[in-house]
Amino acid sequence: MQLPWWWELGDPCAWTGQGRGTRRMSPATTGTFLLTVYTIFSKVHSDRNVYPSAGVLFVHVLEREYFKGEFPPYPKPGEISNDPITFNTNLMGYPDRPGWLRYIQRTPYSDGVLYGSPTAENVGKPTVIEITAYNRRTFETARHNLIINIMSAEDFPLPYQAEFFIKNMNVEEMLASEVLGDFLGAVKNVWQPERLNAINITSALDRGGRVPLPINDMKEGVYVMVGADVPFSSCLREVENPQNQLRCSQEMEPVITCDKKFRTQFYIDWCKISLVDKTKQVSTYQEVIRGEGILPDGGEYKPPSDSLKSRDYYTDFLVTLAVPSAVALVLFLILAYIMCCRREGVEKRNMQTPDIQLVHHSAIQKSTKELRDMSKNREIAWPLSTLPVFHPVTGEIIPPLHTDNYESTNMPLMQTQQ
């Protein structure tokens, strides 16, 4: 039987001198074992606290290396494992994450990333995110808690905000700290603000973009919103001039003088840039003019109180059943009287019928009875309609068309006279 790797460090039963003998662990070996055990169990029960600011981009990387040591069999020190690991994140007590928080992981062999822009409504409220890691090879799971303590920003929100669309980046590539730092550095060289923050990052797929074809290393594209405390520079304003607007309407690339400062690493679609000046924004509330089709304001809905009196439905139940039952009974009695008590009888009917009609009716009944009896018994005498007849000219008797051994089933009912 193959023993676990930690048995190579020494027999745990030898710590107390019981069980397997007097085998002892050296101090160095004991320290290594205890350090390894402490590291494993500290990871299982540890919670991590982060302190993002409201209105500022929050990025947290779920590193696979951090969770690898929690899945048995536990790796030895220095041993490298490459098991596929996926993550599931949700707000504690809820099936999904908060609305401002997104998660992405491309493959089970890459790290997961939580990112988003915290809102001011959650300032001062700890947000506990449950992170469940799944080892897709051994089907083991491990769970951690990420406690997000949202802090209030000093000048939230920044008055001037610009959103760029970068065509040659995916969202997980843009979330890397060095790439995002390079982009903010390029924006700072163009804008020259005293304070510059990344506000939010959104994948183009979340804005209705199409999934790119897997050719020529095409990217999905990503929207990056940044905020600053100074007005927009003249370079950023160039996209608003009529010539560039015309080129954008014709699906041509506008002429931007500062594009070369981004082109080395970032391909920006200047036709999709959005410049927002919050200092000039006015309230968009408009007074509603009531007219046809607009109902008056009825105020808030007030549900009934709990102190309502109970209502007795017994009388209503009886009325609902008694009235239809009584009507049905009356109709039944009338129909029974008509069908049973108003019969005139067969004798009265015959007395009111002419004699010739009764004779015809009796002849028909007699012929019908004779035909029915013939159908029951084929060996009876021939009917009168098939007896021999006299020739109208010579007076000789003409025999019937059939012989005694003729099949009765083919016998004509009436004999044809010659």
The answer, yes or no, to whether residue 283 has pLDDT greater than 60, is no
pLDDT at residue 269, rounded to an integer: 92
Q: Stretch 55-66: mean pLDDT, rounded?
A: 90
pLDDT at residue 381, rounded to an integer: 61
Alpha helix positions (H), 9-94: 27-44, 64-68
Asked if 149 and 214 count as a contact pair (C-beta separation under 8 A), the reply is: no
Which of 72-86, 96-110, 353-367 is most confident?
96-110
Task: Write out pLDDT tens, residues 135-149.
Answer: 998 888 999 999 999
pLDDT at residue 408, rounded to an integer: 46
User: pLDDT band at residue 6, thresholds of 50, 70 and 90?
Assistant: very low
pLDDT at residue 20, rounded to an integer: 37
Name every residue whose Cβ is closer than 8 Å to that of residue 1 and which is 6 or more positions away in sequence.
none
Alpha-carbon span 127 to 50, nearest angstrom: 10
Name every residue whose Cβ is closer than 8 Å to that of residue 266 and which is 6 or more positions away in sequence.
166, 168, 169, 183, 186
Domains detected in the chain:
48-150 (2.60.40.10), 160-277 (no CATH)
Task: Write out pLDDT tens, residues 12-24.
Answer: 333 333 333 334 4
Q: Stretch 82-86: mean pLDDT, rounded?
A: 89
Alpha-carbon span 250 to 268, nearest angstrom: 17
pTM of the predicted model, to two decimals? 0.56
Collect contacts of 108-112 with beta carbons under 8 A, ≥24 apart.
108/84, 108/136, 109/64, 109/82, 109/84, 110/64, 110/172, 111/61, 111/62, 111/63, 111/64, 112/61, 112/62, 112/86, 112/87
- φ/ψ (deg, to 5) at 131: -115, 115
The larger pLDDT score, comparing residue 399 to residue 50, is at: 50
Q: Stretch 176-187: mean pLDDT, rounded?
A: 92
The answer, yes or no, to whether residue 42 has pLDDT greater than 60, is no
Q: What percentage of the chain carries pLDDT values higher than 70?
A: 72
pLDDT at residue 109, rounded to an integer: 92
Asked if 168 and 183 count as a contact pair (C-beta separation under 8 A), the reply is: no
pLDDT at residue 401, rounded to an integer: 52
The answer, yes or no, to whether residue 90 has pLDDT greater than 90, is yes
Name every residue whose Cβ is closer than 8 Å to that of residue 390 and which is 6 or more positions away in sequence.
396, 397, 398
Q: Stretch 164-177: mean pLDDT, rounded?
A: 91
Q: Where are the beta strands (DSSP E) in 106-173?
A: 112-116, 127-135, 141-148, 160-166
Alpha-carbon span 14 to 111, nearest angstrom: 41
Strand partners of residue 162: 226, 275
